[in-house]
């Protein structure tokens, strides 16, 4: 829905919900800016009738009654449009509270906090309110946070919501310089502390997943509609897992500097202390593992297989040449 129309519908709904008596078309036209700007009576009437139908389709109960001087009036009574009481079980309340943590570093932090406060005021326990209900106790010991520090997070979130194409500069793990990407963003997802956006890469004419921390500069919105259909299911996590070698087809042996590379250690099948500040790890190996290992720079040395070692060296050389 276009922003202008959404704002017009919201203003009309507020007028109809906030009045104590029916409002005529004439009164509504003089109260809502978009209606004031209508060039003719006919254009206003068409706009108003469409908006009224749209609000009713969205579930707003609008009554048509006799108003002043025999004119038809409109209002939306609050008791007819009041939502039923919200009831959540312990798991639903915990999930809602955790989801709100995403917005702690984003512009919607205030709105999310306000929504949670209203639910608490209504007696609804949420994650972290362990003293209010027994089932929440396991959540009260921790204060989970989902970071959203990347500057690209908020513009991409809005672009996904509004279905707007974007342009940004992106640096791959094995590239010395960023490349410009024209993307139709579909969805954002967090995996192991990092945010990723999936969408249609117009330049490559294929679905791609981008890590937000590798986006350099600003994310710029572009006019126009999406050119590719948005799939019902987007496999962001599966794609990222394949990058990290999570979809294992074998194993690899690496040397890892002591007290470094904790994500690698978390996946290690075996760990052996080599002394001199190095450990030897056996880790699952699969497609994309070379790109992931490059990110650890001089803290990782690939021992075997030879193909993986060669791929990592090639990637490092490409970065060094840049």
Higher pLDDT, 148 or 61: 61
Most confident of 132-146, 148-162, 233-247, 298-312: 298-312
Query: Would you say residue 167 lies in a domain?
Result: yes
Residue 104 is predicted with a pLDDT of: 56
Structural domain count, the chain = 4
Residue 12 is predicted with a pLDDT of: 92
Query: Would you say residue 187 lies in a domain?
Result: yes
Within 10 A of 284 (CB to CB), how many other CB atoms are there?
17
Question: What secondary structure letter does DSSP report for 250?
Answer: E
In this structure, what CATH number is given to the domain that contains residue 208? 2.30.30
Asked if 127 and 101 sit in the same domain, the reply is yes
Asked if 174 and 117 sit in the same domain, the reply is no
Asked if 66 and 98 sit in the same domain, the reply is no
Query: Would you say residue 283 lies in a domain?
Result: yes
**Least confident among 127-131, 168-172, 239-243, 314-318:** 127-131
Query: Would you say residue 70 lies in a domain?
Result: yes
Residue with tokens 């330049």: 203
pTM: 0.47
- The domain boundary residue, chosen from 216, 240, 264: 240
Q: How far is residue 285's CA from residue 283's CA, in Å, rounded to a whole number?
A: 6
Residue 44 is predicted with a pLDDT of: 92
DSSP run (H or E) holding 108: none
Asked if 210 and 270 sit in the same domain, the reply is no
Give the ranges where 122-149 is alpha helix by DSSP (H). Answer: 137-140
In the sheet that holds 63-66, the strands lie side by side as 23-24, 72-75, 63-66
- The domain boundary residue, chosen from 21, 51, 75: 75
Asked if 286 and 226 sit in the same domain, the reply is no
CA 96 distance to own-chain centroid:
15
Q: Which residues of 141-175 are buried (b: 16+ CB within 10 A; e: fewer)?
A: eeeeeeebebebbbbbbebbeeebbbebbbbbbbe
Q: How far is residue 170's CA from residue 173's CA, in Å, rounded to a whole number?
A: 10
Asked if 8 and 61 sit in the same domain, the reply is yes
Q: Above 80 in pLDDT, residue 310?
A: yes
Q: Which pLDDT band, with edges at 50, 70 and 90, does 174 fall under?
A: low
Tell me the two tokens of residue 181.
Answer: 């990407």
Higher pLDDT, 92 or 128: 92
Query: Would you say residue 209 lies in a domain?
Result: yes
- The domain boundary residue, chosen from 240, 267, 283: 240
Q: How far is residue 184's CA from residue 83's CA, in Å, rounded to a whole number?
A: 35
Residue 92 is predicted with a pLDDT of: 75
- Domain of 33 in residue numbering reads as 3-75
Q: How far is residue 94's CA from residue 140's CA, in Å, rounded to a whole number?
A: 10
Higher pLDDT, 250 or 146: 250
Query: Would you say residue 123 lies in a domain?
Result: yes
**Least confident among 136-140, 216-220, 268-272, 309-313:** 136-140
Cβ(100)–Cβ(117) under 8 Å?
no
Residue range 206-243, pLDDT digits in tens: 999 898 888 988 999 998 899 999 888 887 777 776 65
Higher pLDDT, 196 or 286: 196
In this structure, what CATH number is given to the domain that contains residue 61? 1.10.10.10
Higher pLDDT, 213 or 88: 213
Cβ(75)–Cβ(16) under 8 Å?
yes
Query: Would you say residue 226 lies in a domain?
Result: yes
Q: Mean of the per-residue pLDDT values for the chain?
A: 80
Residue 1 is predicted with a pLDDT of: 44
Q: Above 70 in pLDDT, residue 75?
A: yes
Asked if 65 and 15 sit in the same domain, the reply is yes
Query: Would you say residue 80 lies in a domain?
Result: no
């Amino acid at each position: 829905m276009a922003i202008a129309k959404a704002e017009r519908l919201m203003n009309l709904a507020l007028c109809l919900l906030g009045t104590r008596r029916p409002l005529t078309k004439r009164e509504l036209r003089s109260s809502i800016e978009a209606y004031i700007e209508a060039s003719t009576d006919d254009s206003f009437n068409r706009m108003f009738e469409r908006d009224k139908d749209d609000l009713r389709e969205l579930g707003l109960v609008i009554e048509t009654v006799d108003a002043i001087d025999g004119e038809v009036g409109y209002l939306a009574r609050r008791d007819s449009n009041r939502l039923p009481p919200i009831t959540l079980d312990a798991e639903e309340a915990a999930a809602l509270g955790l989801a709100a943590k995403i917005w702690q570093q984003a512009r919607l932090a205030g709105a999310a906090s306000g929504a949670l406060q209203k639910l608490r005021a209504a007696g609804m326990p949420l994650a972290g309110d362990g003293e209010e209900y027994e089932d929440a106790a396991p959540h009260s010991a921790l204060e989970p946070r989902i970071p959203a520090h990347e500057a690209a997070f908020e513009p991409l979130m809005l672009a996904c919501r509004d279905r707007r194409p974007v342009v940004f500069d992106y640096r791959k793990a094995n590239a010395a310089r960023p490349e410009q990407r024209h993307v139709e963003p579909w969805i954002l997802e967090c995996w192991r502390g990092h945010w990723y956006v999936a969408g249609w890469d117009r330049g490559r004419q294929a679905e791609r997943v981008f890590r937000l921390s590798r986006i350099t500069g600003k994310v710029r919105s572009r006019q126009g509609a999406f050119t590719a259909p948005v799939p019902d299911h987007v496999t962001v996590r599966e794609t990222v897992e394949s990058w990290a070698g999570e979809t294992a087809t074998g194993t690899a042996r690496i040397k890892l500097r002591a007290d470094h590379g904790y994500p690698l250690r978390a996946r290690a099948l075996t760990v052996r202390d080599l002394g001199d500040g190095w450990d030897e790890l056996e880790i699952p190996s699969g497609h994309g593992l070379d790109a992931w290992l490059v990110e650890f720079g001089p803290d990782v040395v690939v021992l075997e297989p030879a193909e993986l070692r060669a791929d990592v060296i090639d990637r490092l050389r490409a970065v060094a040449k840049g």
